Structure formats: structure tokens, C-alpha cells
């Protein structure tokens, strides 16, 4: 098996001490220019790379960060991950991705796992099922740097970045109203998620500002975040067979959107229904029935999140000033 070159190898070859080599490689000023050149040149030549395990052991840093998302298969999350990686690699961190699949147990186990793997920090989007935050709070209190993105936790004081969900929902709902729709139903996500409340509130506010009373019968929560297609199907069916049948539908997430569309394909006479939903899918424009969509700036969200995290990790002093950044989403009308 191949054995990588070490600092000692370089030191021996160049007849200097390991410490000098180390200094030269770190570009320290307390090394002679000539020696530094020599070392750098030779290191390049033999394709030297530092040993991350040794570095970690000494520095008590792993140069890896953990990501916790519901699902990489979700377009929104995969775009966020792309954003995260684009910065992380550049800054010398690698990234360990774990998926909760929206299960509380998996979230706890995975976070435990990441902490034991001694990541330098955590980027978290909460699972839909989680109501008890003890596992997050514990790590946070132990001093592990954590940044929340997308599905954030208001109780924990740290950096956060998410979409301006209130405003996005407000805008989408109001646009539907301006187009003449009055009975606008809302398929909401699991109620414990931050994004659910924010989007629901935006929807309600737009109704109120346009003198449309909020109608409880036009609201359904999907407790499994659209994972359970039956649940969505039932919600769609019951909402469409209500006395005050909706003329428009506002859907709170990607997964629920597709499950809903699948359900609508089974239903006759839903053609006049105007549909708008959150979606970052790259095929949403090809779905039938047609659906207008709200697209979040996922890639950018990932970039901002990782930059916040690296700031936390590399800060020399404890940070007490935290920011919650909100990103605008864009609405795309179809049909």
C-alpha cells in the first residue's frame, strides 16, 4: 500500500529539521527565504500533502462540518448542499451529509454520530417530526457551533438563514386574490416546522389585508410533510369536497406539491383549480396539471449558511451577536 510522504521525509532529504519544514510549509516568517523556497519546491515535487489525522489530533479541529437535511433527493436540499460545498471545499473543509428522512429518531442518532465524529460545526435543517430539541440544545450548550437554515429553531440563539416565508406566502396568496380567486385553500406542512407557521401566517395576512375571512375548512396540515401520499390525497379530497369548494390552492412544500398533483390526476373536474406551490424541482414546469411555483434561493442559502458557520468556527472569541438572514423567493406563474 502507498505510503504518503511526511514532513520528516522532507526534513531528512533536505537535511533540515522537521520544525523548519513545518514552518516553511506554513509560510512562517521565521524561516530563511532560501530554506523556504527549497522546502516548498521539494514538497511540490514529491507531491507532499499534510496528514489530516495528525493535524486534527494536534489542533483539536477536524476540518469537517456536518450537514443535517431531511433528504438529499429533495431538489431544494440538493441545491442547498451544492451551495454549501461550493464554499466549504474552497475553505478547506469537507462536508459530511446526513439525512433525517424527517424522522426524529434518525435526527437524534445522526447528530450524535456527527458530534462523535467530532465535526467542527453543524448545519441543520430540522426534521418535520421533531418537537423535542434536547439533542440540539445539548450540543449547542457544549459549545458546538451550529447554524440553522431553512427549517430553523427560534429557541436556540445562533446564526440562521431561511427564506422570507411570510412574505413569499403573502405575495403568492395576494397575487391569487388579485387574479380574482377568493376561495383559496392552503395545504400546509407539519405544524411544528418554523416554515409552516411563517407560510401560514403570510397566507392569513394576505387574506386579512384583502378582507377575505380565513376559513378553517380550507386549511389542511400534512403531518408527514408529504411523505405519506395517502395523507395528502385525503387532504386534497376532503378539501375539494368541502361545502365552500376552493377555486385556488396554495401548497406549502415541494413534496406536498407533487403528492397533491398525483392526487389531482385521479380527480375529475379539478381543471379550473389554480395551483401554486413552493417548489425547487427542475421539472415542475413539466408537470400536469400545471402548477405555478415559488422558487427559493437554495444555492445562495447554502452559501450563506456555511459562511456563517465558518465565521463561528474560526472566531477567536465567543460570538454573542447573531443574525437571522431572510432571502427573497421568486414566483413563477404558469398557464
Partner DNA sequence: GTGAAAGCGCTAACAC
Partner DNA sequence: GTGTTAGCGCTTTCAC
Residues within the interface to DNA (CB under 7 A): 3-4, 6-8, 15-20, 22-23, 25-26, 29-32, 34-36, 50-51, 54-55, 57-60
Q: Across-strand partners of 124?
A: 68, 148
Instruction: Report CA dihedral (98, 103, 109, 115) to the nearest 10 degrees.
Output: 50
β-pairing verdict for 184-188 and 94-99: unpaired
Binding mask 48-67 for its own copies (x = CB under 8 A): -x-xxxx-xx----x-x---
Binding mask 261-290 for its own copies (x = CB under 8 A): xx--x---------------xxx-xxxx--
Q: Applying CB under 8 A, which part among 27-35, 92-100, 180-188, 267-275 lies near its own copies?
A: 92-100
Near its own copies by CB under 8 A: residue from 11, 13, 95, 175: 95
Q: Across-strand partners of 69?
A: 99
Q: Applying CB under 8 A, which part among 90-98, 170-178, 179-187, 206-214 lies near its own copies?
A: 90-98
β-pairing verdict for 330-332 and 292-295: antiparallel
Q: Does 72 bind its own copies (CB under 8 A)?
A: yes
The DSSP secondary-structure symbol of 148 reads E
Closest CA to 37 of 25, 49, 50, 19: 25
Q: How many CB atoms lie within 10 A of CB 71?
A: 17
At closest approach, how far in Å is the CB of 34 from DNA? Answer: 7
Instruction: Tell me the CA distances in angstroms from 28 to 24, 32, 233, one per residue in order.
Output: 6, 9, 64
Interface ranges with its own copies (CB under 8 A): 1-2, 4, 49, 51-54, 56-57, 62, 64, 71-73, 75, 78-79, 81-82, 85, 89, 94-99, 113, 116-118, 142-144, 258, 261-262, 265, 281-283, 285-288
Amino acid at each position: 500500500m502507498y505510503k504518503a510522504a511526511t514532513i520528516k521525509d522532507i526534513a531528512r532529504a533536505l537535511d533540515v529539521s522537521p520544525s523548519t519544514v513545518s514552518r516553511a510549509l506554513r509560510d512562517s516568517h521565521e524561516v530563511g527565504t532560501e530554506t523556504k523556497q527549497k522546502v516548498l519546491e521539494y514538497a511540490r515535487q514529491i507531491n507532499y500533502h499534510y496528514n489530516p489525522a495528525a493535524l486534527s489530533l494536534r489542533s483539536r479541529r477536524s476540518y469537517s462540518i456536518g450537514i443535517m437535511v431531511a433528504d438529499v433527493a429533495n431538489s431544494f436540499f440538493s441545491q442547498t448542499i451544492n451551495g454549501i460545498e461550493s464554499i466549504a471545499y474552497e475553505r478547506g473543509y469537507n462536508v459530511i451529509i446526513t439525512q433525517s428522512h424527517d424522522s426524529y429518531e434518525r435526527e437524534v442518532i445522526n447528530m450524535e454520530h456527527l458530534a462523535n465524529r467530532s465535526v467542527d460545526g453543524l448545519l441543520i435543517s430540522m426534521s418535520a417530526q421533531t418537537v423535542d430539541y434536547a439533542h440540539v440544545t445539548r450540543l449547542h450548550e457544549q459549545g458546538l457551533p451550529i447554524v440553522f437554515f431553512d427549517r430553523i429553531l427560534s429557541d436556540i440563539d445562533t446564526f440562521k438563514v431561511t427564506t422570507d416565508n411570510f412574505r413569499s406566502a403573502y405575495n403568492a396568496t395576494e397575487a391569487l386574490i388579485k387574479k380574482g380567486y377568493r376561495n383559496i385553500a392552503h395545504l400546509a406542512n407539519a405544524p411544528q416546522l418554523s416554515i409552516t407557521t411563517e407560510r401560514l401566517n403570510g397566507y392569513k395576512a394576505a387574506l386579512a389585508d384583502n378582507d377575505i375571512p380565513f376559513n378553517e375548512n380550507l386549511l389542511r396540515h400534512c403531518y408527514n410533510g408529504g411523505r405519506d401520499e395517502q395523507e395528502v390525497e385525503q387532504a386534497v379530497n376532503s378539501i375539494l369536497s368541502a361545502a365552500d369548494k376552493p377555486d385556488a390552492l396554495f401548497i406549502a412544500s415541494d413534496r406536498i406539491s407533487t403528492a397533491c398533483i398525483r392526487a389531482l390526476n385521479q380527480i375529475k373536474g379539478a381543471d379550473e383549480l389554480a395551483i401554486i406551490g413552493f417548489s425547487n424541482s427542475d421539472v415542475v414546469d413539466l408537470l400536469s396539471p400545471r402548477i405555478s411555483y415559488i422558487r427559493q434561493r437554495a444555492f445562495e442559502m447554502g452559501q450563506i449558511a456555511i459562511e456563517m458557520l465558518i465565521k463561528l468556527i474560526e472566531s477567536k472569541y465567543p460570538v454573542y451577536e447573531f443574525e437571522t438572514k431572510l432571502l427573497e423567493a421568486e414566483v413563477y406563474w404558469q398557464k
